[in-house]
């Protein structure tokens, strides 16, 4: 029974998703939590397994772990993975999907105009090295390939050591809502 659970867990990798306020001293905790919950719900409906990550603190940032089946991710991008030979593409493929869901949740909660004026800031950290993701970089396979190439150019030493066991974290910064105008 234990070997079944171990093999099931080993065939998945985990990406941590953290949604934080852009300015910790002037935060909107309700918006941070709402964007995080909306993104988590969308990812759950996409078939991902979500687990809470406990920090030992009450309130604050929104933090979850997303379990991704390795075989499914690798198989859907088999041509790219085989051609590239890199675990980076395997990691960045679901990251692009997660970032899209975060953008959608942020836009839904803030409104399209307000979200464009103060967009959500997303960074991906793999084994301690990070890059930022912009909305135009989120075009399916091409987006994953471009992000993998950019990560490889910015962090060649880390990129050469990345495996499916590497630590991956997606961090989104949400700015405070603008106050409503009074009549």
Tens digits of residue pLDDT in 59-108: 566 777 776 665 444 445 545 444 444 678 778 888 888 888 888 888 88
**If you write DSSP's letter for every residue of the chain in order, what string do you get?**
-HHHHHHHHHTEEEEEEEEEESSTTS--HHHHHHHHHHHHHHHHHTT-EEEE---S-SSSSEEEEEEEEHHHHHHHTHHHHHHH--HHHHHHHHHHHHHHHHHHHHHHHH-HHHHHHS--EEEEEETTEEEEE-GGG--HHHHHHHHHHHHHHH-HHHHTT--TTS-EEEEEEEPPPPPPPP-
Report whether pLDDT(9) > 60.
Answer: no
The residue extents of the domains of the chain are 8-174
pLDDT tens digits for range 136-145: 556 655 677 8
Task: Give the pTM.
Answer: 0.72
Is pLDDT at 7 greater than 50 in this prediction? no
**pLDDT number for residue 36:** 87
Give the tens place of pLDDT for each residue, 124-133: 898 899 998 8
């Amino acid at each position: 029974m234990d070997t079944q659970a171990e093999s099931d867990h080993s065939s998945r990798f985990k990406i941590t998703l953290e949604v934080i306020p852009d300015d910790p001293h002037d935060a909107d905790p309700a918006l941070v939590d709402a964007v995080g919950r909306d993104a988590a719900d969308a990812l759950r409906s996409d078939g991902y397994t979500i687990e809470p990550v406990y920090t030992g603190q009450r309130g604050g940032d929104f933090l979850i772990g997303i379990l991704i089946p390795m075989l499914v991710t690798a198989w859907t991008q088999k041509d790219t993975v085989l051609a590239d030979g890199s675990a980076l593409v395997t990691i960045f493929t679901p990251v692009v999907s997660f970032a899209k869901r975060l953008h959608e949740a942020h836009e839904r909660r803030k409104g399209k105009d307000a979200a464009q004026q103060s967009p959500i800031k997303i960074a991906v950290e793999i084994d301690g090295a990070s890059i930022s993701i912009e909305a135009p970089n989120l075009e399916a396979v091409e987006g994953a390939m471009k992000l993998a190439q950019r990560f490889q150019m910015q962090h060649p030493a880390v990129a050469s050591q990345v495996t499916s066991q590497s630590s991956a974290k997606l961090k989104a910064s949400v700015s405070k809502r603008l106050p409503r105008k009074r009549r």
